[in-house]
């Protein structure tokens, strides 16, 4: 049976990027931007993943269509504020990732939300079909994309961060071990 997106409401700590593992509040290096608070239950998976990799992050609700001035301001100030990666989640005619990418040289990871009558296909196409010169890294639609956005952000950061690379290596090993255990179980081992 397909897994449903986590519906739990993010804690204030999670929203500010300050989970248990982060003892001293560090400046955010990943910005997680959502078009609406209705995207939060799905994007909680992304926040959880960032916490697991001990990545300080910030969370904002900013809409390319409803608050375009705020979106522009967020993107043009992102580098100076110390961000290294932006994750943009939006549904329907999702312009957020593309708009932010148009206004910053930081890598932008887009997460299409599975909302509306087209179930996220529209949001995915808006990220996949960016014109040449303004790339957005499009993740899978919905929950898988939210998780992968957190992992992909860690992978970008790991290029210049050995500790992050180590965390990613351990993550991959643990993931492989889980599959191996399932393989043994199905073979009756
Ligand atoms: C997008 O429209 C948001 O990212 C959300 O996925 C969708 C619906 O927004 P709400 O009407 O729930 O605020 O901009």
Whether the model pTM is above 0.85: yes
Give burial (CB, 10 Å; 0-12/13-18/19+) of 126.
Answer: buried
Report the percentage of the chain scoring pLDDT > 70.
Answer: 87
| pLDDT category of residue 8 using cuts at 50, 70 and 90 | very low
**Which is the closest atom of ligand 1 to the Cα of 39?**
6
Which residue stretches of the chain are H helix?
A: 12-15, 40-52, 68-77, 96-102, 121-128, 143-158, 162-186
Residue nearest to atom 12 of ligand 1 (CA): 38
Asked whether the predicted pLDDT for residue 97 surpasses 70, the reply is: yes
Distance of alpha carbon 41 from alpha carbon 73, whole angstroms: 26
| pLDDT category of residue 23 using cuts at 50, 70 and 90 | low
Does any ligand 1 atom lie closer than 6 A to the CB of residue 63? yes
Q: 20's torsion region: left (phi>0), alpha (psi -120 to 50) or beta? A: alpha
Asked whether the predicted pLDDT for residue 22 surpasses 50, the reply is: no
DSSP secondary structure string for all residues of 37-78: GGGHHHHHHHHHHHHHTT--EEEEE--TTTSHHHHHHHHHHT
Give me the pLDDT at residue 33, please: 98
Q: What is the mean pLDDT of residues 116-137?
A: 98
Q: Cβ neighbours of residue 60 under 8 Å, at least 6 residues apart? A: 31, 32, 33, 34, 74
Asked whether the predicted pLDDT for residue 34 surpasses 90, the reply is: yes
**Which is the closest atom of ligand 1 to the Cα of 34?**
4
> How many A from CA of 167 to the centre of ligand 1?
33
Q: Which of 60, 110, 109 is nearest to 84 (CA)?
A: 109
Give me the pLDDT at residue 25, please: 80
Asked whether the predicted pLDDT for residue 53 surpasses 90, the reply is: yes
| CA dihedral (111, 94, 101, 11) positive or negative | negative
Does any ligand 1 atom lie closer than 6 A to the CB of residue 51? no
Q: What does the pLDDT look like over 55-88, one tens digit per residue?
A: 999 999 999 999 999 999 999 999 999 999 999 9
Distance of alpha carbon 54 from alpha carbon 113, whole angstroms: 25
Asked whether the predicted pLDDT for residue 104 surpasses 50, the reply is: yes
Give burial (CB, 10 Å; 0-12/13-18/19+) of 163.
Answer: exposed
Give me the pLDDT at residue 24, please: 64
Residue nearest to atom 7 of ligand 1 (CA): 91
């Amino acid at each position: 049976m397909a897994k449903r997106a986590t519906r739990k409401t993010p804690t204030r700590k999670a929203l500010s990027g300050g989970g248990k593992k982060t003892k001293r509040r560090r400046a955010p290096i990943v910005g997680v931007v959502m078009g609406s608070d209705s995207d939060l239950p799905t994007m909680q998976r992304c926040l959880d993943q960032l916490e697991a990799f001990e990545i300080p992050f910030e969370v904002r609700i900013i809409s390319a269509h409803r608050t375009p001035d705020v979106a522009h301001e967020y993107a043009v100030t992102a580098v100076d504020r110390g961000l290294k990666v932006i994750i943009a989640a939006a549904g329907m005619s999702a312009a957020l990732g593309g708009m932010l990418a148009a206004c910053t040289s930081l890598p932008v990871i887009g997460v299409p939300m599975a909302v509306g009558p087209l179930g996220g296909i529209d949001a995915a196409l808006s990220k996949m079909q960016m014109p040449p010169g303004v790339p957005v890294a499009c993740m899978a639609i919905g929950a898988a994309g939210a998780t992968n956005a957190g992992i992909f952000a860690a992978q970008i950061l790991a290029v210049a961060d050995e500790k992050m690379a180590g965390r990613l290596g351990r993550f991959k090993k643990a993931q492989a071990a889980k599959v191996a255990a399932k393989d043994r179980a199905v073979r009756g081992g």
